[in-house]
């Protein structure tokens, strides 16, 4: 985290009304240490992979 002063992942999970239905909302809050630092888009792939694997695991368990 040498590039960012703050980097926080926020996960929200909301159960739906139809049994196994639900919604996952993921947000990333960050503050760059320097204006030339790029946005942390490379971390989005990691978060996306995590969500896909969690979804597959939940579907399999259900």
Helix (H) or strand (E) holding 13: strand 4-15
Confidence (pTM):
0.61
Question: Confidence band (pLDDT; 50, 70, 90) for 35?
Answer: very high
Q: Is the pLDDT reported for residue 60 higher than 80?
A: yes
Give the separation between CA 49 and CA 21, rounded to whole angstroms: 20
| pLDDT tens-digit readout, 12-28 | 888 877 666 778 788 88
- 34 Cβ contact list (under 8 Å, min separation 6): 3
């Amino acid at each position: 985290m040498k590039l960012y002063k703050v980097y926080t992942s926020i996960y929200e999970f909301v159960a739906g009304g139809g049994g196994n239905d639900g919604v996952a909302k993921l947000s990333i809050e960050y503050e760059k240490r320097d204006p030339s630092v790029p946005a942390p888009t490379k971390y989005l792939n990691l978060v996306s992979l995590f969500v896909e694997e969690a979804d597959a695991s939940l579907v399999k368990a259900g």
